Amino acid sequence: MRLNLEQAAARILKGEVVAIPTETVYGLAAKFDMPAAVQKVYELKDRPPENPLIIHVQDSASIYPFVDQVPEGFDLLAKKFWPGPLTLVVPIKKNCIVASVRAGLSTQAFRVPDHPATRALLRMTGPLVAPSANLSGNPSTVDPIQVEHDFGSDFPVLDGGRCREGIESTILVFKEGSWQVGRLGAIPQEAFYRYLGYLPKLAKVNETPLCPGQSFRHYAPKAKLHFGEDLQKAPVIIGFSDRKYPPHATLFSLGHSTLPLEAAYSLYTVLRELDQKGIPEAWIDAEIPQVGLWNTIIERLKKASS
Ligand code: TXA
Ligand code: MG
């Protein structure tokens, strides 16, 4: 069910959950200070209670009431990247946010999204929790049709069209005096160097992830995906429009192999398309440069195939 701004705000203020557009992916939004509404978000997604939610706010000043002191670099990052696809996890004042929102942690993830409809909505509702609007484990959703596919055609969606980035925000966590990457996302790791004076550290594969959500199965279609295997006999290939593949193969294209923005934009739509077409297995062309936004795409493809 597609809603306009006023309808979406009215429902959220009553304690209902509404899917909302952001520049990254759609989110499942509820008032951050209504525990029953927050609970509904977890239930709708079938999300484990130990995986906390991001609070979406109108501007960076909106987070000041929740913190004793903003961490070093926060104002700089906020000024440069907000509104935009960056989430910042910061230590907060004791018990100032409902425990279920932050899964009992003493930190909170915040983000100022860059989508005109949702920015207008936030002015009407105040801060909103919004995890990605997909069933837990499924690929995220980048348009209202994909949201309706996961939650049904009666589910209320504030229609903001197709998401511009198509991939989730980058998450930086302030820990032990520096910013570290909790999740790769739409902003490449390298982009932070000139503002922080250092490259935010990325957790190693065997380390406990900084974001609890990174431990769960993610971004995966039902189709079995192969990453980095020989493509010669592959019947279905997830690859690039400018590359030559064996003639018998069906190509699901991530766009041109020199355009990471295009690959990010089409990634979840391609993964969802495999299932819609009932394709049981696909092989990923893993010849992808390990730099910038490509690293986010590689990480998502690896997770989807694990
Ligand atoms: O682009 C995005 O970030 C989208 C749009 C809707 O804003 N949202 C999104 O939310 O991707 P979600 O819930 O699918 O992913 C949020 C991630 C999870 O991995 C969660 O564990 C992590 O953020 N997170 C939330 N609060 C945290 C905290 N206090 N400390 C560490 N990680 C946290
Ligand atoms: Mg998600």
Please tell me the predicted confidence (pLDDT) of residue 156: 98
Contact present, 219 and 271 (Cβ < 8 Å): yes
Pocket of ligand 1 (CB under 6 A): 22, 24-25, 27, 51-54, 85, 87, 89, 102, 105, 107-109, 111, 113, 130-132, 168-169, 171, 173, 182-183, 210-214
Pocket test for ligand 1, best of 17, 87, 136 (most atoms within 8 A of CB): 87
Calculate how far, in angstroms, residue 242's C-alpha sits from the geometric centre of ligand 2. Answer: 30
Query: How far is Cα 281 from Cα 234, in angstroms, rounded to an integer?
Result: 9
Ligand 1: nearest atom to the Cα of 168: 1
Please tell me the predicted confidence (pLDDT) of residue 120: 98
Sequential pLDDT tens for the chain (306 residues): 999 999 999 999 999 999 999 999 999 999 999 999 999 999 999 999 999 999 999 999 999 999 999 999 999 999 999 999 999 999 999 999 999 999 999 999 999 999 999 999 999 999 999 999 999 989 999 999 999 999 999 999 999 999 999 999 999 999 999 999 999 999 999 999 999 999 999 988 788 899 999 887 777 889 999 999 999 999 999 999 999 999 999 999 999 999 999 999 999 999 999 999 999 999 999 999 999 999 999 999 999 998
Calculate how far, in angstroms, residue 182's C-alpha sits from the geometric centre of ligand 1. Answer: 9
Which bound ligand lies closest to the C-alpha atom of 86? 1
Q: How far is CA 67 from CA 92, 97, 131, in A?
A: 5, 11, 21
Please tell me the predicted confidence (pLDDT) of residue 205: 78
- Residue nearest to ligand 1 atom 13, measured at CA: 131
Please state, as a whole number, how many other Cβ atoms lie within 10 Å of the Cβ of residue 211.
Answer: 18
* HSE-up of residue 253 (Cα within 13 Å, Cβ side): 12
Q: How far is CA 191 from CA 26, 83, 118, 219, 278, in A?
A: 24, 16, 25, 24, 38
Please tell me the predicted confidence (pLDDT) of residue 218: 72
Q: 3-state secondary structure string, 150-174?
A: HHCCCCCEECCCCCCCCCCCEEEEE
The pTM (predicted TM-score) of the whole model is 0.97
Please tell me the predicted confidence (pLDDT) of residue 55: 98
